[in-house]
Structure 1
Amino acid sequence: MEKINAGLIMLAEMHEKLPPSEKKVASYILAHPTQAIKMTAVELGEASQTSSAAVIRLCKSLNISGVQELKLRIAGDLQHTITVDRDIEANEALPSIVEKVTIQSSEILTQTANLIDIAELERAVSALSQARKIIFFGVGASGITAMDADQKFLRINKNSRAFMDLHLGATAVVNAQKGDVIVGISFSGETHEVAKILEIASETPATTISLTRYGSSLVSSLADISLYVSPNVEATFRSGATSSRLAQLLVIDILFMGVVTSAYEQTIDYLDETRTIIQGLQKKVAKRKNRIK
């Protein structure tokens, strides 16, 4: 999938964590994105009063292939700028709410897809495919994502558990073995409980995966494999973590499909079996209701 945007998001999120020379390049690009996409690395270095080497180092810090990819992403951002005010107002008309929520959801999914590092994704899919046991952990809205992941992987006969309680999660993780996978989910990347779970897991032979907003964070620093969602998600009145949850669910779905396709025949059989069982249960429930009537 060609990466078409998210360059400005990456620069903004990493800005304060960059070394001084790279920060100067990032500042110039954020202030002059239209001009920046027309410049070479040498020209960007001169315009930001640094050097072409600083520009190249910035691309490495952003974990992208080079200046051309950065400019492509920024050009995509400029082409897809959304001018609609996404915040919900008092007594807003329902058609307007439909438009704003739909635009916001579409934007977060596209941005998240363009932030995915395929190499890290491949490592995560490989670990989950071969996992002896999988533990998903999150609290609050991220806990809902953990539960969704758990029910998906159970359907393909994976030994999966989801936890939202720190004590129960710690009890499950402390005895993790080689071949187990621990997935910590935290949009902020700073959730104490999730960080603690990954810290405990780091003392075991298990593989750890983090799912956080893009950028450096405590949770991602504790994981062997780091996956990210777009940080540009919530408007003022969207306090229910609606968009961040959608972004997390997208990544979970991608991981799930990656595992399915890695052992296609076997996992499809598992999915068919679970679907047949559920349909049979639904028919039994319907028959009981008819008898009661």
Structure 2
Amino acid sequence: MTNTTGGLVMLKEMLEKLPPSEKKIASYILNNPRASISCTTSELAQLSQTSSAAVIRLCKSLGLKGFQELKLKVVGDLQKNVEEGYRDIQPNETHASVLEKMTNNSIQSLKETAEVLHLSELSKSVEALEKAETIHFFGVGASGIIAKDAQQKFLRINKKATAFSDLHMVAMLVGNVKPEDVVVGISFSGETMEVAQILELANKRGATTISLTKYGSSKVSDQATIKLYTSASKEATFRSGATSSRLAQLHVLDILFMCVASTQYNESIQYLDESRDAIQYIQQKQRK
């Protein structure tokens, strides 16, 4: 799914941030996906009243190797079943309807995240986290909760990890990071200035930086050496889209955790067992 779908999602999410010529091409593809997949680069340029060079630039803006890869992703999108999209709850919604809508939103968000998550960046992240001496997770507000969850997971397999929510505390930590450390900045919007500043500081110290944002260029992702994306869930009155985006962030960090644990499988099993034993020991002591 990651390799053969997601073209239309990428185009939709990047549309407003693209330069004028690339935006014209993206709009044409979104409005005429079936016609676009049968075009050559020059034919698409002519139909969108742009240039072949602009088509190539669009593909690069999407993080793709070329127009052929974009066409393959659009073809995959066209072969998928029609999806309902994100739906927010209405006044006096029935419990059954809320259940259905929230489940649909979560499934949609996870599917789209799988489509926009680049495997090459995922592999780089796993390698960096596996080798890291210490991992520093940082997010503000709801993203700070995601950071704490990630810290808890990696501590369970004996990876040194921090997840402070106080900006000054994080700045002190990151001000002393080493090249062997990894700093992960989490921000759904990608525009959280504090997170961007922490990644900038980490870059100056020579640490590896990883961003986790919604798809597209942003202040946070622009500061990261490795960029991970989630689906850009739609915000609405009751923030059901934001709820789904939180699940997508957790999903990506779960994937990272499982990948790292898999690469050191025997050690991870041992650490998990020891962590479980330690918790059970404390619980038994508290009951006495």
TM-score normalised according to structure 1 size? 0.91
Quote the Cα distance in structure 2 between the aligned partners of 1:198 and 1:211: 12
Would you say the 8 A contact 1:141–1:241 is kept in 2? no
Pairing of 1:198-209 with structure 2 (within 5 A): 198-209=199-210
Q: 1:120 corresponds to which residue?
A: 121
In the TM superposition, what is the alpha-carbon distance from 1:284 to its structure 2 partner?
A: 4.8
Q: State the SS of the aligned residue for 1:82.
A: coil
CA deviation after TM superposition for structure 1 residue 240, in Å: 8.4
User: Could you report, residue by residue, the CA deviation over 1:40-91 in whole angstroms, capped at 9, with x for unpaired residues?
Assistant: 3232122112233332332122112332332232234343432367110111
Distance in 1, Cα, partners of 2:3 & 2:239: 27
Preserved contact between residue 139 and residue 146 of structure 2 (Cα < 8 Å):
yes
Could you report, residue by residue, the CA deviation over 1:240-281 in whole angstroms, capped at 9, with x for unpaired residues? 831111111011011111111122211221112112322344
Matches within 5 A, 1:1-293: 2-78=2-78, 79-83=80-84, 86-238=87-239, 241-285=242-286, 287-288=287-288
Give, as a single letter, the amino acid of the residue that structure 1 aligns with 2:43.
Answer: E
Distance across 2 between alignment mates of 1:42 and 1:226:
31
- For the residue of structure 1 that corresponds to 2:92, the secondary structure is coil
**Aligned residues of 2:85 and 2:108 also touching (Cα < 8 A):** no
Partner AA of 1:22 in structure 2? E
Q: CA deviation at 1:35?
A: 2.3
Deviations 1:166-194 (A, max 9, x none): 11111111111120111110001111211
In structure 2, how many angstroms separate the alpha carbons of the residues matched to 1:282 and 1:67? 58
* SS of the residue 2:136 aligns to: strand
Instruction: Report the more deviating stretch, 173-182 or 11-20.
Output: 11-20
| TM-score when normalising by structure 2 | 0.92
Q: Which amino acid aligns with 2:66?
A: G
Provide the aligned length of Structure 1 versus Structure 2: 287
Question: Which letter maps to 1:179?
Answer: E
Confirm or deny: 8 A CA contact 2:125 2:256 kept in the other structure.
Answer: yes
CA contact 2:5–2:77 (8 Å) conserved in 1: yes
Higher alpha-carbon deviation: 272-281 or 156-165: 272-281
Q: 1:5, CA displacement in angstroms?
A: 2.8
1:9–1:232: 8 Å Cα contact kept in structure 2?
no
Contact (CA 8 Å) 2:137, 2:184: kept in 1 or not?
Answer: yes
Q: Can you give the 5+ residue segments of structure 2 that lack an aligned partner in the other structure?
A: none
